[in-house]
Every structure is written in C-alpha cells, then in structure tokens.
Amino acid sequence: MNILIFGPNGSGKGTQGALVQKKYNLAHIESGGIFREHIKGGTDLGKKAQEYINRGDLVPDEITIPMVLETLKAKGAGGWLLDGFPRNTVQAQKLWEALQQEGMKIDYVIEILLPREVAKNRIMGRRICKNDPNHPNNIFIDAIKPNGDVCRVCGGELSARADDQDEGAIGKRHDIYYDTNTGTLASAYFYRDLAPKAGFKYIVLNGEGSIDSIKETLLAQLA
C-alpha cells in the first residue's frame, strides 16, 4: 500500500500518518527526513543538495524528486506513506511522472481538511514529546491536553518549537499550504482530479474531529 498524505500544519497529519503506518507496517517517509538522510549518508544527491543549502538556495526539483524516489525504493519495499511532499503543482506533476516511469503505484491520497484559523491555534498549543514527537499533546485541545508539563502518553519531557509560537512563521507556512493556485492544496487537487482515471482513491477527512473519530473514518476507507 502506497499513500500520499496532505494536511496543513496543525491538522493532525503526523498523528494520523503514524497510526496508519503502524497498522499497515508502512515506511512513514517525511520530506525533511529525506534530505537529512541523503546528506548525512553522503550520497551523490545529498552532496548536490548540500551545495544548494549552503548557498541558501532551494534545492531544485531535479535533485529533490530523485531523492524522494530513492528513499521510497530503499525504505518502502513493503509500502510507504509520503508526508510533506509534494508542496506545489510542479512537484506534484513531476512526482507523478517519475512514479509512472519507475512503475510505482499510488493506492490512496489522503487530504485532511482544517480551517486556517483553527490550524493556527492548534499549532500554537502544540507541545512536542522528547521521547516520540508523534505523541499528541496540545494545551488548547481538551482531549489531548498534557499531564501538566509532561507528555500525556508516556510522561516524557515536553517542549514547544520556537516557530510554533511565531504567528508570522505560521502564516508563511500556511500561505504555501492553502494556496489553491500553485501551492500545496493545488498539488493535492492535482491528485484529486487525477484519481478517477489513474485508479487510486482520494480520501477527504474532517480534521476538526477527534483523533479517534478521524482514525476510525480513515481506516474504514482504507479497508
């Protein structure tokens, strides 16, 4: 089973992705991790990417797409869930073309809906567990409030990312995601429109529900 997942920061995308990964034993592949692993591993693609990063430039798709494919093939032989990529329509098209050339299929594309203001508030209340960043803790959501200053799941130390407290930074991230012309939502819609003829299923979830209700709805549609 191969899955793409879309959702704004604050939508619970990481939490739901982790639940799906565990149930189906998929490789949960996040875009940031792809760069880190290639650079740390000293691959040819990683070295090329590092040159751009050192100059403060964006890594071009001609390097990023092959990185993604190599990681999917290396880690996702038993199925994968790709999180955080593509982020714009050009990447969406190039990724689809590259997957087709490699004979790699997509089975499901998941989009988690969440109003922008709700997403912002969730981000600012988010707390990260030192032991497992996918443990849900949020001071503004009753169902997943931490136990005081520690993780509600494991009791681990909690912290808040600096950029989660920066409304300007949150706004910039959401500007990219909620852009329906060329941004991340537009790339999700590329796959939504492609799904009927390409033979994969496009699943839309209401991100304002509880973690358990979203999970139940999602797993029912993946069955």
Instruction: Tell me if residue 126 is catalytic.
Output: yes
What distance in Å separates the CA atoms of residue 79 and residue 218, rounded to the nearest whole number?
17
Q: Which residue has the tokens 């922008």?
A: 116
133 CB contacts (<8 Å, ≥6 apart)? 14
Catalytic residue among 48, 122, 126, 152: 126
Instruction: Tell me if residue 87 is catalytic.
Output: yes
84 a known binding residue? Answer: yes
Instruction: Tell me if residue 173 is catalytic.
Output: yes
Domains and CATH numbers, the chain: 2-26+78-222 (3.40.50.300)
User: What DSSP character marks residue 59?
Assistant: P
pLDDT tens sequence across 86-120: 999 999 999 999 999 999 999 999 999 999 999 99
140 CB contacts (<8 Å, ≥6 apart)? 121, 122, 124, 125
pLDDT tens sequence across 12-56: 898 899 889 999 999 999 888 898 889 989 999 999 989 988 888
Catalytic residue among 48, 120, 152, 173: 173
Instruction: Tell me if residue 192 is catalytic.
Output: no
DSSP string, 160-186: --GGGG-HHHHHHHHHHHT-SSSSHHH
Instruction: Tell me if residue 13 is catalytic.
Output: yes
Q: Which residues pair with 52 in a beta bridge?
A: none
Tell me the whole-structure pTM to 2 decimals. 0.85
